Amino acid sequence: MTYDLYLGDRSYSSWSLRGWLLFEKFDIPVRSHFVNFADPAGVGAQMAEVAPAKTVPTLKCADGAVVSESLALAEELASREPGKNLWPKDPVGRAVARNLASEMHAGFGPLREFCPMNLRVAYRNVAVPDDVTADLRRLEAIWSHARASTSPGGPWLAGDYSIADAFYAPVAARIAGYGLAVDADAKAYVAAHLADPAFRRWRAMGFAAGQELPWYKRDFDQTEWPGPEPMTATAVSEGTAENEMCPYSGKPITHLGSFDGRIFGFCNAFCRDKTVADAEAWPAFMAIYQS
């Protein structure tokens, strides 16, 4: 099965993050296409080839089916890829996860509006209105109930990573990025998302192939991103690389980066810049770095 997935800006598009995680976390091959949020023509105009879809994420399947509603996209992918277990196998876990995803899809409007996703910055000392506080308490309650109902062995909500966790990844990013106060269990769940290599790769690619969009910025005190501290790295124009081929494409190197003082090469600026942003999120690079 071949899929085409239409996505928005990685730093700001919360629903695009959800859609992409469904493929990345479950190892489902996909061709990704990105619309430009800064294009004055708008998102819908950039998606004419998958009309009548006009929002991201949108999924186009090999048989021509177009799914442009996020929860429907998740359910359709789970139906077409039954061996991937996008929902928990256990009936109780599956029911809990489905309920969680539905509530996320339809709710938490105050939190979304007051704290738009922005993976480029982190804030502190953010005073939130009462309706946002109510959303945070609701998240604590349903996350706690999910874990109590399913007793997962790991950090996720209803057993192994599922559609429900993909749907709550942007909420975790909001809680972390705006420094919002939640209880210890919710903090642990947020930290699991921030440390997840797939989430880290998405955020790194946002720095490598995106631009700062000022209308997402908020006038709060800024602070350091609360996730794992990345390796010290920077793009460089000179030096002798330790490798001869790009760790991702296997093509000859054309661009260089310095990682803790060591020089490695890549086949293009995007490969280099996503690695500079968070080297340890990329297993292919770390394999040559640690060899």
Q: For residue 233, what pLDDT is reported?
A: 98
CA distances for 238 relative to 38, 241, 247, 263, 264, angstroms: 33, 9, 19, 9, 11
Instruction: Tell me if 188 is assigned to some domain.
Output: yes
Same domain as 180, residue 115: yes
Kindly give, in sequence order, each residue whose CB lies less than 8 Å from that of residue 24, ignoring residues fewer than 6 positions away: 198, 201, 202
**Environment class of 85 (CB within 10 Å of its CB; exposed 0-12, middle 13-18, buried 19+):** middle
Together in a domain, 106 and 181: yes
Residues 97 and 130 in one domain: yes
43 and 120 within one domain: no
Q: Which residues pair with 289 in a beta bridge?
A: none
Q: Are residues 265 and 196 in the same domain?
A: no
Is residue 103 in a domain? yes
Per-residue pLDDT for 133 more than 90? yes
224 falls within a domain: no
d(CA 14, CA 174): 10
Mean pLDDT, residues 64-91: 97
What does the pLDDT average to over 15-44? 97
Same structural domain, 112 and 160? yes
Residue ranges making up the domain that contains 35: 3-84
Identify whether the C-beta of residue 126 lies closer than 8 Å to the C-beta of residue 220.
yes
Contact 223, 177 (CB under 8 A): no
Q: For 219-232, what is each residue's pLDDT tens digit?
A: 999 999 999 999 99
Tens digits of per-residue pLDDT, 160-191?
A: 999 999 999 999 999 999 999 999 999 999 99
**pTM score, two decimals?**
0.97
Q: For 85-128, what is each residue's pLDDT tens digit? A: 999 999 999 999 999 999 999 999 999 999 999 999 999 999 99
Q: What is the mean pLDDT of the chain?
A: 97
Q: Which residue has the tokens 């790295």?
A: 233
User: What's residue 173's pLDDT?
Assistant: 98
Residue 215 falls inside a structural domain:
no
Domain end position, chosen among 40, 67, 84: 84
Supply φ then ψ for residue 281, to 5 degrees.
-80, -10
Based on the fold, state whether residues 103 and 191 are members of the same structural domain: yes
What confidence score (pLDDT) does residue 2 get?
A: 86
- Structurally, the chain folds into a number of domains equal to 3
Instruction: Give the residue from 180, 200, 220 where a domain finishes.
Output: 200
| Residue 104: per-residue pLDDT | 97
